[in-house]
Structure 1
Amino acid sequence: MLELLALLLPIAAASGWFIARRQYAADRRFHRVRELNASYTRGLEYMLQDRVEEALDLLSETAATDTEGRELRLAIGNFFRRRGEVDKALAVHEALLSQAGLTEPFRSRIQLELGTDYSAAGLLDRAEGIFIALQDRPDFSTCSLESLLRIYEREREWEKAIDCLKRLRRSQKPLHRETIAQFYCELAQQEHDAGRDDDALALTEAALRDDPKCARALLQRARLLAGRREWSELTAILTMLERHAPVFLPEILDLGILLHAARKDEEGLIAWLTHLHKDCGCSEAAVLLSERLAAEKSVAAATDYVLSAISSSPSVPLTRRLLALMKQSSTEEQLAALPSVMLALHSLLPPRTRRYNCSQCGFTASEIYWRCPSCQYWETIKPVTE
């Protein structure tokens, strides 16, 4: 009996110590959880009171000591970046990445956010390296490719952007209406600026293979062909532009005049301008036609034509043209009434500058941009029809 008691006493003592230790650890965890909950609650109260700086400082300190608070730290870093405090976002995400015991998916999430931080800070080489490493991981491929595309557009590395967009197309539509055709057009412009028009023409052809209706590629190709006096193909391109992008017809009226002048075909030019006005609604074509009538026939003939055009399809360009013709008239009654008419109409008409408008965000410009400087969408800026 004594031997059994001697054997059980150490076991009982060890069991008591083990139970006490577990209870102590449980109590510590309980108090620790209470402290963390109190800190998080206080941080939320600061947020609700619009004391954002105090809330962020408190939550950052709390999450840094909470091994289970990694998601919160990730969110705090993202919040710093959205506020423009990229240095703080970098500090939070880099510290989080250095922790031991991270799962591979969570490590990749941190790397994705870190790459976005680097991009926001202008450290594009570092950001590119991270996104390239993540682009082949299924859960992060799309986000990485989109981020790489933004970098290549920003750096004007159009060949890399084309490759990136080809891969991105397999999974989803691009966010900002990016097209490979637009990137080929960027390369074509670079080649044209460098005096390599043969290469520029080849690139516009590649652009049209990707998007046969690309207005920019049609316009670029038309101007390159006009410079090379390739009139037959220019005629075909102008016809395609009329069919696919009639809103851009005012941009190529000078090419049509050049084409018909080279062929010494004045009747063909008049017929073309008449067609563009009547069938395509191009008021600028009617203005050009009235100018030719005034030069070759008379101001009266031009005035009659403009009055007829205004009665069928009134527009600002035609109204301005009518005012200009009235000013050239010798009729005393017209001259006497002209100042009052001009004063009234000029107060209603916008300034005589060609305007362009983005259909995505409403951005307005006096020159065409193929990528909106405001919303960054491609091919959304078009001429304003007056």
Structure 2
Amino acid sequence: MEFEIWWLLGIPLFFTLGWIAARVDIRQLLSESRSLPRGYFKGLNFLLNDQPDKAIDAFIDIVRLDPEAVDLHFALGNLFRRRGETERAIRVHQNLLARPDLPQEQKTQAMFELGQDYLKAGLLDRAEETFNQLAATGQYEAQARRALLEIYQREKEWARAIDAANALQACGAGGRQKEIAQFYCEIAQDELVHTHPDAALVMLDKALSADRNNVRATILTGDVHQANGDTEKAVLTWRRVEQQSVPHVALVAQRLMDGYRKLERPNEGLNLLKNYLAEAPSIDLLEVVFKATLELDTVQAANQLVSNELRRTPTLLGLDKLLDARLMEAPPELRPELSMVKSLVHGYAQKLARYQCSHCGFKARQFYWHCPGCSRWETYPPRRTEELNVMN
């Protein structure tokens, strides 16, 4: 009975305490909000209405009246950077760093923001120096190392990019093995350009150690063997692409066909590519098989090949190939009309003959391992956009 009385008395007591706490919080909030300048709310309102220019003007007015408003300096600097006014952003963050009374935590934040300003302005040397200092402090380490990785990629300093990616992995920012493999491929490609095939092979072995499914490393390894005159080894290497990714076989189809010709076994090469085509339809692969069929077989066989592929994967690009084949065996009186249709289809087909980045949507005529639009690696499927739309 005594417990029930206390429990009943406790209900209004808890409500009373809750009401008092809420009143104190509300009064404190109102007190703090009254102490803020009116321009602060104007600036926030402009930001919410997506009017950054007016927000900047409002914040500038506040900073003039209250130079100690550190948070507003940060907000102002970030707004300048977003608007592309990097010089003004740099000045704001440099002024913050120059303040002797600024707490260490905010100094570190100002240094990070300054590094971002330098990076946006393209002042890569200054950005690199700033982010290296930050990484050494252990604060903002992952963000700093990520920025350093971006800088080294922009400057094409692939060896330093590898070190930065390894350091980024070590600080727990996720795996970077695919990127590291691509950096080794970039170094190998440079070695190939300067006719250093042995050095290129060393780099490609490292690329495959980092990512054994790296198709580019396999293709380049075959290229090195071909450059060394070992066509048999080159062909065997290019054939390994099928084990890594069947759709990427289209990227080595012409290499394989040329290799088998050099080995004087073109029919073997053609049969291999036909098997690949049956397994993974591809316009690029069809192009190589079509030309090889014309060379080694008959026009009728090439015609039938394209007709079968068009039924399986109906695309304008495939129709363009079919019209090529039909023109070759068409009677003279029908060729002008067929040629006109072919010209129209070809024009539209070429607009669809693009590779497209799966991340940013950037389209290109050629295949890229590194997207020119978003700078991401391995975001291009090895099929043209029209094929992907049909398959989806």
1:135 matches 2:135? yes
Cα distance change, pair 294–109 in 1 and its aligned pair in 2 (3 A): closer
Query: Is residue 185–residue 217 contact of structure 2 (8 Å, CA) maintained in 1?
Result: yes
* Aligned pairs for 1:187-266 within 5 A: 187-266=187-266
Q: What's the counterpart of residue 181 of structure 1?
A: 181
Distance 1:41 1:355 in 2: 49
C-alpha displacement of 1:301: 3.6
* Further displaced range: 324-333 or 102-111: 324-333
1:172 matches 2:156? no
* Aligned pairs for 1:317-332 within 5 A: 317-329=317-329, 331=331
Q: What's the counterpart of residue 76 of structure 1?
A: 76
How many equivalent pairs are there?
A: 354
Q: What's the counterpart of residue 376 of structure 2?
A: 377
C-alpha displacement of 1:178: 6.2
2:174 maps to amino acid: K
Secondary structure at the aligned position of 2:159 is classed as: helix
2:272 maps to amino acid: W
Q: Mind listing any 5+ residue stretches in structure 1 that lack a counterpart?
A: 1-31
C-alpha displacement of 1:55: 4.2
1:350 matches 2:339? no
1:99 matches 2:99? yes
Cα distance change, pair 91–301 in 1 and its aligned pair in 2 (3 A): closer
Q: What's the counterpart of residue 368 of structure 1?
A: 367
* Aligned pairs for 1:35-46 within 5 A: 36-44=36-44
Q: What's the counterpart of residue 271 of structure 1?
A: 271
Question: For 1:68-108, what per-residue CA distance to the aligned partner results, in whole angstroms no more than 9, with x for missing partners?
Answer: 52122112111111111111111111111111222222211
Query: Is residue 276–residue 282 contact of structure 1 (8 Å, CA) maintained in 2?
Result: no
Distance 1:350 1:123 in 2: 43
Distance 2:328 2:54 in 1: 73
Answer with 1 or 2: which has the greater Rg.
1
Distance 1:41 1:352 in 2: 50
TM score, norm. by length of structure 1? 0.80
Distance 2:338 2:52 in 1: 64
C-alpha displacement of 1:164: 0.7
2:82 maps to amino acid: R
Distance 2:53 2:297 in 1: 76
Q: What's the counterpart of residue 63 of structure 1?
A: 63
Cα distance change, pair 352–277 in 1 and its aligned pair in 2 (3 A): farther
Question: For 1:162-206, what per-residue CA distance to the aligned partner results, in whole angstroms no more than 9, with x for missing partners?
Answer: 10100111312379x961011111111221222222212221121
Distance 1:232 1:79 in 2: 59
Cα distance change, pair 210–300 in 1 and its aligned pair in 2 (3 A): same
Cα distance change, pair 367–297 in 1 and its aligned pair in 2 (3 A): closer
Secondary structure at the aligned position of 2:356 is classed as: strand
* Further displaced range: 278-287 or 142-151: 278-287
Q: What's the counterpart of residue 23 of structure 2?
A: none
Distance 2:293 2:372 in 1: 41
Cα distance change, pair 145–271 in 1 and its aligned pair in 2 (3 A): same
* Further displaced range: 306-315 or 79-88: 306-315
Question: For 1:227-270, what per-residue CA distance to the aligned partner results, in whole angstroms no more than 9, with x for missing partners?
Answer: 22323432332232122233332322222123212322233123
Query: Is residue 357–residue 381 contact of structure 1 (8 Å, CA) maintained in 2?
Result: yes
Distance 1:45 1:294 in 2: 69
Cα distance change, pair 323–107 in 1 and its aligned pair in 2 (3 A): same
Query: Is residue 178–residue 377 contact of structure 1 (8 Å, CA) maintained in 2?
Result: no
C-alpha displacement of 1:330: 5.1
Q: What's the counterpart of residue 151 of structure 1?
A: 151
Query: Is residue 181–residue 207 contact of structure 1 (8 Å, CA) maintained in 2?
Result: yes
1:77 maps to amino acid: G
Question: For 1:261-293, what per-residue CA distance to the aligned partner results, in whole angstroms no more than 9, with x for missing partners?
Answer: 232223312321221111232444444444344
Query: Is residue 360–residue 380 contact of structure 1 (8 Å, CA) maintained in 2?
Result: yes
C-alpha displacement of 1:384: 3.0
Query: Is residue 249–residue 282 contact of structure 1 (8 Å, CA) maintained in 2?
Result: no
Q: Mind listing any 5+ residue stretches in structure 2 that lack a counterpart?
A: 1-31, 388-392
Question: For 1:361-380, what per-residue CA distance to the aligned partner results, in whole angstroms no more than 9, with x for missing partners?
Answer: 11100122222121221111
Query: Is residue 355–residue 382 contact of structure 2 (8 Å, CA) maintained in 1?
Result: yes
RMSD between aligned alpha carbons? 3.2
C-alpha displacement of 1:49: 7.6
Distance 2:99 2:364 in 1: 50
Distance 1:132 1:184 in 2: 23
Q: What's the counterpart of residue 11 of structure 1?
A: none
